[in-house]
Amino acid sequence: MLGDKKVVFSGVQPSGNLTIGNYLGAIKNFSRFSEEYKTFYCVVDLHAITVRQVPAELRRRTYETLALYMACGLDEQKNTLFVQSHVPAHAELGWMLDCYTMFGELSRMTQFKDKSAKHSENINAGLFTYPTLMASDILLYQTDLVPVGIDQKQHLELARDIANRFNQVYGNTFAIPEGYIPQDTMKIMSLAEPTSKMSKSDTNQNAVVYILDSKDDIIRKFKKAVTDSEAEVRFSEEKPGVSNLITIYRAFTGKTVEEVEREFAGRGYGDFKLAVGEACADGLAAVRDEFARLMADKAHLEAVMKAGADEAAYYARKTMSKVRRKIGFVN
């Protein structure tokens, strides 16, 4: 809690062009909290450097991610929008929490295992301690609720464990955060390999639909999406490709599974894929237009970042002074 409001925190890494997985699993849900909660939405650039980034691209994507937050409906007057590296308390608390996190706990994180396999030439210590920095992001603002996709559930549970451990040693210091994981869209799958998560760092461009893809590209990618040999639009675990397309179609049209199955009964996959592509492209058109408008005014984006960082730093300072005192650092 901050004052009389519960707190929401979430972040997205500027580590690539954002996908409809990032959009449906996370960003699209952010604005629903703006009125009732105190909301902090962060571009987590410190997390992004756990994987090697091209400096100019990292800088550009940091602006773009902020602009996408705003284009997806986050009003800077109602939400604290900022860049993680602009508030040094994230890294500072991250180090302290490293000392309250066990090596064994970090070793069990599936994202660490996946990313070390994917980036075997650069298994750095930051990749290993990533979840502690994420715990710091969340705990710094006394967060109650964290809207994320299901892939972040394990990290979130670790953040809760770290907070509980610290609170047990020093008395109540951190709020214990809960996840907000949207049931229908918690994991959007790759279009080329529908048993794997759609990921912004996937090198197969046809596997991933980016929020900023053109309508033609979106339709082309859905046309190529992997399905199965049955030609039946039905939601089932045995049909991961078709089920993933149904999930995406539902997210953009608001229809139920039964409605979608009825709509495409007796029709081939060609019709279905085209309809999914069109619904997705049309659903994102307003975001794309607003994004282009926002990116044309860099000075405004910089003003938003600066105001957001000032406000975030104000609340972060409060938590940090409590933490320092409890640990025993001289003030």
Catalytic residue among 38, 197, 239, 273: 197
Convert 69-119 into a string of H (helix), E (strand) and C (coil): HHHCCCCCCCCEEEEHHHCCHHHHHHHHHHCCCCHHHHHCCHHHHHHHHHC
Tell me the chain's radius of gyration from C-alpha atoms: 21
Catalytic site includes residue 197: yes
Site for ligand AQP contains 225 (CB under 6 A): no
Residues 6 or more apart whose CB falls under 8 angstroms from that of 12 comprise 18, 22, 26, 27, 43, 44, 65, 69
Catalytic residue among 38, 115, 221, 273: 115
Site string for ligand AQP, 156-195 (x = CB under 6 A): ------------------------------xxx-------
By CB under 6 A, name the one of 98, 151, 157, 217 that touches ligand AQP: 151
Q: Please report whether residue 152 would count as binding ligand AQP according to CB under 6 A.
A: yes
200 in active site: yes
| Under rule CB under 6 A, residue 198 binds ligand AQP | yes
Q: Which stretch binds ligand AQP (CB under 6 A): 82-90, 197-205, 210-218, 250-258?
A: 197-205
Please report how the helices 153-170 and 125-139 are oriented relative to each other, as an axis angle in degrees rounded to 10. 70
Closest residue (Cβ) to ligand AQP? 25
- Angle, helices 110-118 vs 153-170, to 10°: value is 130
According to the binding rule CB under 6 A, does residue 148 interact with ligand AQP? yes
Q: Is 143 in the site for ligand AQP (CB under 6 A)?
A: no
Among 22, 85, 101, 143, interactor with ligand AQP by CB under 6 A: 22
Q: Does 21 bind ligand AQP (CB under 6 A)?
A: yes
Task: Specify whether the CB–CB gap between 70 and 290 falls below 8 A.
Answer: yes
Interface with ligand AQP, residue 244, by CB under 6 A: no
Query: How far from 251 is each of 223, 280, 319, CA to CA, in Å?
Result: 18, 9, 38
Q: Which of 7, 8, 15, 213: binder of ligand AQP (CB under 6 A)?
A: 15
Q: Determine contact, residues 94/132, Cβ cutoff 8 Å.
A: yes
Q: How far is the CB of 316 from ligand AQP (least distance, A)?
A: 20
Could you tell me the strand order of the sheet in which 145-147 lies?
80-83, 38-43, 7-12, 145-147, 178-180
How far apart CA 209 and CA 326 sit, in angstroms, is 47
Judged by CB, which is closer to ligand AQP: 69, or 166?
Answer: 69
Output 101 or 247, the one with its CB closest to ligand AQP: 247
300 vs 29: CA distance, rounded Å: 24
Q: Does the protein bind ligand AQP through residue 16 (CB under 6 A)?
A: yes
- Alpha carbon 176 to its chain's center: 20
* 247 binds ligand AQP per the rule CB under 6 A: no
User: Which active-site residues does the annotation give?
Assistant: 115, 197, 200
- Tell me which residues touch ligand AQP (CB under 6 A): 12-13, 15-16, 19, 21-22, 25-26, 148-149, 151-152, 186-188, 197-201
